[in-house]
């Protein structure tokens, strides 16, 4: 890590698509291993880490519903996809020597723990990485909202959102050549301008609880450690003065 960590406890939100690597679907072992190494470098410096992972690389509830599937069933399928990703990430983290626990909002006693807030906090205090699976356990809520909720419940210092670009832009920079990149935004900036960072429910929850959000590029080597130290390229979203 470039400098001493700026944050004591962080939640990192990973998209399911971020685990695909160059694939069009599913999981890429090399990508999982690289992300696990990034997390290991942060944990080694005494930072307590927890994760929420999306399921879009396997199944996305909203897109399933748009194709005629009943929304509640589609969302539950999406939650199960996040459990698959969480177990894959758990395996990758343990291969690099970290102790982990997966806690699911939908009880699955044979494969992981149920979500219990105090137990999760205790795991992190012991240096374990906790992966929160199955979203909030409720349909109609995204994994972005789940990440904001768990970050608040865990008393995290910051929510770190890993994306495909190095911060928040006015439009998708892969599609819009002159998209503007922001170094700093307020929660109201994000909501008023409908910036595609996280859904409005997640942004509102972070705003209500004064939880800053850092957005950085998942694919830049060492970026997670730099962000946790307050360095590197990222966009910070926090309450305005």
- pLDDT tens for 17-57 read 999 989 989 999 999 999 999 999 999 999 999 999 999 99
- pLDDT tens for 109-148 read 999 999 999 999 999 999 999 999 999 999 999 999 999 9
Instruction: For residue 4, tell me if it sits in a domain.
Output: no
Q: Is 224 annotated as a binding residue?
A: no
Q: Is 139 annotated as a binding residue?
A: yes
Q: Which pLDDT score, from 0 to 100, does residue 11 have?
A: 98
Instruction: For residue 33, tell me if it sits in a domain.
Output: yes
Please check whether residue 219 is in contact with residue 150, taking contact to mean a CB–CB distance below 8 angstroms: no
Q: Is 55 annotated as a binding residue?
A: yes
Q: Which pLDDT score, from 0 to 100, does residue 65 have?
A: 74
Residue 140 has which token pair?
């109609």
How many other CB atoms are found less than 10 A from the CB of residue 134? 28
Residue 45 has which token pair?
């410096």
Which CATH number goes with the domain that contains 135? 3.40.1160.10
Confidence of residue 16 (pLDDT cuts 50, 70, 90): very high
Q: Is 164 annotated as a binding residue?
A: yes
Q: Which pLDDT score, from 0 to 100, does residue 26 have?
A: 94
Q: Which pLDDT score, from 0 to 100, does residue 100 have?
A: 98
End-to-end CA distance of the chain: 30
Q: Is 143 annotated as a binding residue?
A: yes
Residue 86 has which token pair?
């969480």
The total domain count for the chain is 1
Range(s) of the domain holding residue 229:
9-238
Q: Is 103 annotated as a binding residue?
A: no
Residue 23 has which token pair?
């694939």
Instruction: For residue 1, tell me if it sits in a domain.
Output: no
- pLDDT tens for 168-225 read 999 888 899 899 999 999 999 999 999 989 999 999 999 999 999 999 998 889 999 9
Instruction: For residue 134, tell me if it sits in a domain.
Output: yes
């Amino acid at each position: 890590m470039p400098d001493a960590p700026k944050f004591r406890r962080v939640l990192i939100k990973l998209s399911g698509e971020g685990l695909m690597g160059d694939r069009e679907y599913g999981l890429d072992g090399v990508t999982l291993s690289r992300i696990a190494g990034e997390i290991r470098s942060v944990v080694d410096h005494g930072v307590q880490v927890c994760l929420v992972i999306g399921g879009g690389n396997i199944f996305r509830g909203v897109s399933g519903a748009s194709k005629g599937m009943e929304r509640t069933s589609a969302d539950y399928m999406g939650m199960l996809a996040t459990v698959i990703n969480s177990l894959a990430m758990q395996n990758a983290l343990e291969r690099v020597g970290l102790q982990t626990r997966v806690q699911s909002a939908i009880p699955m006693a044979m494969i992981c723990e149920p979500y219990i807030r105090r137990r999760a906090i205790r795991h992190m205090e012991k240096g374990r990485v906790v992966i929160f699976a199955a979203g909030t356990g409720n349909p109609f809520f995204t994994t972005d909202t789940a990440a904001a909720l768990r970050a608040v419940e865990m008393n995290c210092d910051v929510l770190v959102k890993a994306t495909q670009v190095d911060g928040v832009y006015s439009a998708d920079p892969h599609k819009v050549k002159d998209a503007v990149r922001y170094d700093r935004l307020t929660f109201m900036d994000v909501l008023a301008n409908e910036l595609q960072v996280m859904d409005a429910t997640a942004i509102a929850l972070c705003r209500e609880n004064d939880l800053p959000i850092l957005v950085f590029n998942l694919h830049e080597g060492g970026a997670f450690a730099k962000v946790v130290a307050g360095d590197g390229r990222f966009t910070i979203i926090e309450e305005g003065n």
